[in-house]
Amino acid sequence: MKQLLLSMLLLVSLGSCAAPIRNAKTETFKVAGNCDMCKNTIETAANKKGISEAEWDKDTKVLKLTYDSQQTTADEVLKRIAYAGYDNEKFLSPDDAYAKLPECCHYDRLKKDVVVTEPVKEPVTEISQEPEAEKNPLAEVYAAYFATKDALVKDDAATASAKANALAKAIKAVDMQAMSAEEHAAWMKIEKDLLTHAEQVGGTKDIGKQREHFVLLSKDMYTVSKTIKADQTLYYQHCPMYNGGADWLSKENAVKNPYYGSSMLTCGKTTETIK
């Protein structure tokens, strides 16, 4: 009986231990905050069992982050912290998330121009060349969205799923350091919904369901397009027939309806031109 009790206690003890993090990588980051409540919120947002562990020092404002480099990235963890209301050296918190923090947690906000980035290394030799054109931070997002739209126009559910999954990947890979403060704030506000709707389109090969989710995806993309412009003129188009009315973005003024495809290809009209 005594041996049985000891065995049970050992099992309970082992079960209570945190799962070790494999492929562990440890880094430190500056994260804004004031007090022990901030510490609890920051660490709760960062910690994910078996994948990431974090310890934040309220005096130094430094977060020590250990994570499984095969399952997540430091950026993913720092995004969660930003969504919880805390500015950090990679991502600024959405204004509404910061506003929801308790009064004692209202730290002095970081400014976009003081966000830490990797230092630029000087080249060994100087070579005279044309400066590279500044790349639109959402170039891949726009490209994947239009590829998804084109697949729906063609009634191709398999391709629509693949392109929507590529869109989700592009959303996760967006470089916010290349954005202005206004763009950064706008992106942080819409990114989660945009990613959710892209994953919903990509997660099914039922074209009816894909089109339902594409309505919400397109609303999010329209919101994004008003602040973070595409590299070309866009056309916001409207179909009055689909579910009482639905919209989408297009690179062409000619209507090609993603909600009805070949059955009513030209149903709809352009309601706004975005330059």
pLDDT tens digits along 243-266: 999 999 999 999 999 999 999 999
First to last CA, the chain: 79
Residue, of 140 and 178, whose pLDDT is higher: 140
SS3 state of residue 11? helix
* Helix axes of 74-83 and 181-202: crossing angle, nearest 10 degrees: 110
Final residue of a domain: which of 111, 129, 154? 111
Could you tell me the two tokens for 241? 């027939």
Model confidence pTM above 0.75: no
Confidence of residue 18 (pLDDT cuts 50, 70, 90): low
CB 214 within 8 A of CB 202: no
SS3 state of residue 115? coil
Specify whether 73 is located in the same domain as 187.
no
**Residue spans of beta strands (DSSP E) within the chain:** 24-30, 52-57, 62-68, 234-239, 246-250, 269-274
Nearest to 32 by CA among 65, 63, 74: 63
The Cα 46–Cα 136 span in angstroms is 29
Look at strands 246-250 and 62-68 and give their pairing: unpaired
CB 184 within 8 A of CB 92: yes
Specify whether 101 is located in the same domain as 150.
no
Per-residue pLDDT averaged across 268-273, rounded? 97
Please report whether residue 127 resides in a domain. no
- The CATH number for 59's domain is 3.30.70.100
Cβ-based neighbours of 132, under 8 Å, separated by 6 or more: none
| Side-chain-facing half-sphere of 145: CA atoms under 13 Å | 27
Please give the DSSP secondary-structure letter assigned to residue 120: P
Confidence of residue 133 (pLDDT cuts 50, 70, 90): low
Specify whether 156 is located in the same domain as 87.
no
Question: Residue type at 84?
Answer: A
Please report whether residue 162 resides in a domain. yes
Final residue of a domain: which of 111, 130, 156? 111
Please report whether residue 118 resides in a domain. no
In this model, does residue 22 exceed pLDDT 90? no
| Side-chain-facing half-sphere of 159: CA atoms under 13 Å | 13
Specify whether 148 is located in the same domain as 266.
yes
Mean pLDDT rounded to a whole number for the chain: 87
Q: Please give the residue range of the domain that contains residue 223.
A: 139-274
Q: What percent of the chain has pLDDT over 90?
A: 77
| Side-chain-facing half-sphere of 164: CA atoms under 13 Å | 29
* Site of tokens 């919120």: 41
Nearest to 184 by CA among 254, 240, 137: 137
Specify whether 169 is located in the same domain as 82.
no
